[in-house]
Structure 1
Amino acid sequence: MDRPANIQLEPEAEGSESGAKEDRHFVTALARGLEVLACFRSGDKTLGNQEIAQRCGLPKSTVSRLTYTLTKLGYLIQLEDSGKYRLGTATLSLGSAMLAKLDVRAVARPLMQELADFSRAMVSLGARDRMSMIYVENCRSSSALTLSLDIGSRIPVAATAIGRAWLAAIPERERVEFMERVREFDETAWPETERGIRKALEDYRTLGVTCSFGDWQKDVNAIARAFNPGGGLPPMAINCGAPSFLLSKDFLLEEVRPRLIETVSRLEGMLAR
């Protein structure tokens, strides 16, 4: 049902190093090692050095040294039969520690479940990571016909409702910089991508939500709204989506939209207290 986007190269992986050369405090080797870990997606079981090199935009010889070091430290595991790598158990401590401290998940979960039950859809809480939105919490309705995305799944910012909501919530300067990186990543697709973002920003002003009706996946409809979680965290967003045959555009806008806005408002109030 759901086909998460396979983004092979994060534009920031290349651009960050050029700016880092001017920053004497920036440790390039550490940054490259983290890029290797970050290139593993939720749908990836294993990756080889060549695949990692392509995704990170690094020479294969450099990647070979990085994967060797990360394997020695337990962050990667090399499979004997294929020589490819999978994430090691040491990475669990990084992700689990972050999720455990993300109090907004515990506060948001019951509110999200209410909305999921009403809409018969999947309601997700997401945060931006590079050029993607990463799901940090999911609530599903009792219906079996919901999307198959799980916690840790990544979807693109520019084409999705949840990503567009994040774009609508950030400062104008930051939004312009991010859109420029999207344009540089795919010049050919940029005109259509920009139209989608501009329309989403207008929707956010007039409707209070951003929309994606078949923009990311032709058979998926979704709306989203962003909020400030506080605690020094950047803006996050809540998304309500499902297959289009189950969740129509009219139902989303007329019935779900006011409930989503109310849900986010209640969440902001609870977090503020």
Structure 2
Amino acid sequence: MSASILPTSIASPDAPIDERKFVVALARGLELLRAFRPGETLLGNRDFVERTGLPKATVNRLAYTLTVLGYLRFDDTFGKYALDAGVLSLGFALLSGNDTLELARPHMRSFAREVGAAVSLGCRDGLDMVYLETIRSETALTLGLASGSKLSMLTSSMGRAYLAVQTPDARAALIADLQKAAGPDGPALVTAAQREIDAFATERCCYSFRDWHDDVNAVAVPFREPRDGRWLVLSCSGPASSMGKEVFRERVAPLLKQLARRLGNTA
């Protein structure tokens, strides 16, 4: 089996892959859907080839199949593909059927009002963290990222917190993939992320001070979902110009840890 089909970025650290049961064609089709990034509406075959590393002929067949099944839609005007309703229905099923998310929403609203910032709940998606929900206070000035938005695992507090609670082997494999994907900036990004990951043992949270965005500070706390034990991450972000490091260390982080303990089992 080709190594490109089974990267650490897809494999779950809690469920080793049994290659006898793994359906390569299905994995390749899902990689096409994952190729879309936040804010992108149209991708062509060349985009799919570049982002997945799959041969053009394979991309053509997969895109056609996903179009027939209602997961992609071909735009004749631009000669490119857009995500279709089938993907939306899967996302809606995930969000509407998530008990933890339903439980978290009222607590997140209270937290956002009390702190005056944005609070988000997210989980891993490949080499990124994806937002399941974001709630902002009426006074929050930080960037508003909607459900489905993705953040780098290396530069975001949410991603660093997720990495911090993985087993050493799983974390090392993920970091290797992250460094490779980051290109020339990889070593510096890994070094910055590793400092926060190492500090988790005493801090029980991870920070990102202007690392993800020049005017955004953030803190994140991981917890295990009670129902199935997967790791989710709560994060709080605010403008660095008005919410400095001390605010996050002394006020925001303790409150976020309390919220995480209400929702699941913290590390």
TM-score (norm 2): 0.89
Aligned AA for 2:192?
A: G
Deviations 1:128-160 (A, max 9, x none): 011000000111101252312100001111111
Change (3 A) 1:161 1:183: same
The answer to whether the 8 Å contact 1:169/1:227 transfers is no
1:220-235 correspondence runs (5 A): 220-235=216-231
Does residue 203 in structure 1 map to residue 199 in structure 2? yes
Confirm or deny: 8 A CA contact 2:142 2:216 kept in the other structure.
no
Which of 79, 82, 86 is the equivalent residue of 2:82? 86
Match of 2:128 among 127, 132, 135: 132
What is the CA–CA distance in structure 2 between the aligned matches of 1:185 and 1:94, rounded to whole Å?
27
Deviation at 1:268, TM superposition (A): 2.2
After TM superposition, the score normalised by the length of structure 1 is: 0.87
Match of 1:51 among 42, 47, 52: 47
- Larger strand share, 1 or 2: 2
Aligned pair in 2 of structure 1 residues 12, 109: CA closer, same or farther (>3 Å)? farther
Q: CA deviation at 1:61?
A: 2.2
Map 1:132-151 → 2, pairs under 5 A: 132-143=128-139, 145-151=141-147
**Contact 1:125-1:136 at 8 Å conserved across structures:** yes
Separation in 1, partners of 2:182, 2:241 = 31
- The alpha-carbon deviation at position 23 of structure 1 amounts to 2.3
Q: In the superposition, relative to structure 1, how do residues 14 and 44 fare at CA in structure 2: closer, same or farther (>3 Å)?
A: farther
**Take 1:170 and 1:219, find their aligned partners in 2: how far apart are those partners?**
29
The one-letter amino acid of 1:265's match is R
Q: Would you say the 8 A contact 1:160–1:212 is kept in 2? A: yes
How many residue pairs align between the two structures?
259
Correspondence list, 1:112-261, <5 A: 112-143=108-139, 145-186=141-182, 188-261=184-257
**Partner of 1:15: helix, strand, or coil?**
coil
Which stretch has the larger CA shift, 75-84 or 142-151?
142-151
One-letter identity of the residue aligned with 1:133: M
In structure 2, runs of 5+ residues without a counterpart are 12-16
The percent identity for this pair of structures is 37
Residue pair 1:12, 1:130 contacting (<8 A) in 2 also: no
Contact 1:121/1:247, CA 8 A, preserved across alignment: no
Is 1:15 aligned to 2:11, yes or no?
no
Cα displacement string for residues 58-112 of structure 1 (whole angstroms, at most 9, x for unaligned residues): 1222211111111111111111211111111111221111212211101111111
Tell me, yes or no, if the aligned pair for 2:164 and 2:198 is still in contact at 8 Å: no
Gaps of 5+ in 1: 1-10
2:14 maps to none
CA distance in 2, matches of 1:252, 1:134: 22
CA distance in 2, matches of 1:203, 1:116: 26
Shift of 1:12: 6.6
Q: Deviations over 1:17-65 (max 9, x none)?
A: xx9x992332221111111111112311111111111111112222111
Inter-partner Cα distance in structure 1 for 2:151 and 2:218: 13
Residue type at the aligned position of 1:79: D
Match of 1:5 in 2: none
CA gap 1:40/1:237 in 2 versus in 1, 3 angstroms? same
Aligned counterparts of 1:58 and 1:132: Cα–Cα separation in 2: 21
How far, CA to CA, are the matches of 1:14 and 1:131 in structure 2? Answer: 13
CA RMSD of aligned residues (A): 2.5
Amino acid at match of 1:263: L
**How far does residue 13 in structure 1 lie from its aligned partner after superposition?**
5.1
CA contact (8 A) 2:223 2:231 kept: yes
Distance 2:242 2:63 in 1: 44
Residue 30 in structure 1 maps to residue 26 in structure 2: yes
